[in-house]
Amino acid sequence: DSLGRWFSVAEARVTLPGSSHVTLQSALDITKRKINEQEFEEQTSKMENSSRLITLGEMASTITHEINQPLTAITAYANTALEVIDRAPEVNKTQVLEIYRKIANQAARIDKIIKNIRAFAKRRPTTLECVSLNSVFSDTMELGRLIEKKYAGVHVVYELPAVVPDVICDPVQIMQILMNLIRNAAEAILEHGSEDKTIMVSAKVGAKDVELSVGDHGPGISDTMKASLFTPFFSTKKNGLGLGLSTCQTIAESHNSRLRVRDNEGGGTVFFFDLKICFTKDSENKKQN
C-alpha cells in the first residue's frame, strides 16, 4: 500500500548444512500486469455495454413493432369508446368500462416493454465478491414462493449438497438469472399442461466450480429452437419480449461462464451455468470447521 504497487510474494524455508534454517523470500513487481488487468476489465465492460446498445439499435424495428401493436389497439378502443359515449342516447356503463379496461391493459403492456428494454440497456455493472451460496439460495427461495403463488400448481424444489462452498459472484445478478429461469420453466409447464409441475433448482459442487441448474419437465426445446434461444427478442410467447435469456447470458458471461441448455431426463429442459468456488483462507477455515 505505501508504495502504491502490487507484488507477488513467494516464500521458501531452506535447511542449510548444519541444520540451520533460512527463509528465502522473493517479491516480483506485478503492478504493470495488475494495471493491464484493470484496463482489460474496463474495456470488456465498455464493449459489453456497446454491444448491448448495438443489439438494441439493430432491433429498433422489432421494438417499434412491439410498441405499435398495443398503441394501435389503444387508439381503436379509445375511438370506439368515444363513439359509444357520443352516439348512444344513454351511456352503457358496462360496455364503456370494458373498453377502458382494455385500454388500461394495452397501456400496461407498453409500460412493461419499455421497462424491460431499459433494464436490458442499462444493466448495472457486475460486482464480483465471495459470497455464501446458501444465502443466494435462501433469497432465491423467498422469490420462488412468489412464483409458486403466481403460477398455481407449480412447485419449486431446491437441491443443495450438505456442504456448500462460497462462490465468486454478484449475488443480485445470480438471483436474477435463477428467477428468470424459474419463471420461464413455470410458464413452459403451465402452457404445455405438464403433469409433473416440479421445477428443480440444483447446485452440483465440482473441484473448482459449482454448477447451478434449473430443470423442468415441460415441453422441452427442439434443436432448431435451441440455436435461437439466446438471441435478443426471440420469443414463442404471445406477450413475450424475448430479452430474458439473452440478459441471463450476458450476466453468466460477466461471471466467466456461459448459460447452456440440455434436454432433461424423462423430458423437459435444464438450463445451467457455473460459478467459480472462492478459495480464500476464510472459506478454507469454514470448510475445516
Site residues (vs ligand ADP, CB under 6 A): 184-185, 188, 216, 218-219, 221, 229, 234-237, 240-242, 244-245, 269
CB of 233 to ligand ADP, least distance (A): 8
Nearest residue (CB) to ligand ADP, 80 versus 264 = 264
CB of 240 to ligand ADP, least distance (A): 3
Measured distance CA(140)–CA(155) in Å, rounded: 14
Nearest residue (CB) to ligand ADP, 129 versus 159 = 159
The CA angle 259-261-42, to the nearest 5 degrees, is: 10
Measured distance CA(136)–CA(278) in Å, rounded: 14
Nearest residue (CB) to ligand ADP, 257 versus 269 = 269
Cα distances (Å, whole numbers) of residue 234 to 63, 229, 243, 251: 12, 6, 7, 18
Measured distance CA(215)–CA(202) in Å, rounded: 8
CB of 137 to ligand ADP, least distance (A): 19
> Residue type for 260, please?
R
CB of 83 to ligand ADP, least distance (A): 35
> Residue type for 161, please?
P
Measured distance CA(239)–CA(246) in Å, rounded: 17
CB of 170 to ligand ADP, least distance (A): 20
Nearest residue (CB) to ligand ADP, 22 versus 119 = 119
Nearest residue (CB) to ligand ADP, 2 versus 222 = 222
Per the listing, cell 500500500 goes with 1
Q: Residue 269 in 3-state DSSP?
A: strand
Give the DSSP per-residue string, 181-211: HHHHHHHHHHHHT-S--EEEEEEEE-SSEEE
Residue 61 sits at φ, ψ, to 5 deg, of -70, -35
CB of 118 to ligand ADP, least distance (A): 15
State the residue number with the nearest CB to ligand ADP: 244
CB of 266 to ligand ADP, least distance (A): 14
C-alpha cell read off for 183: 419463471
Nearest residue (CB) to ligand ADP, 150 versus 237 = 237
Nearest residue (CB) to ligand ADP, 166 versus 216 = 216
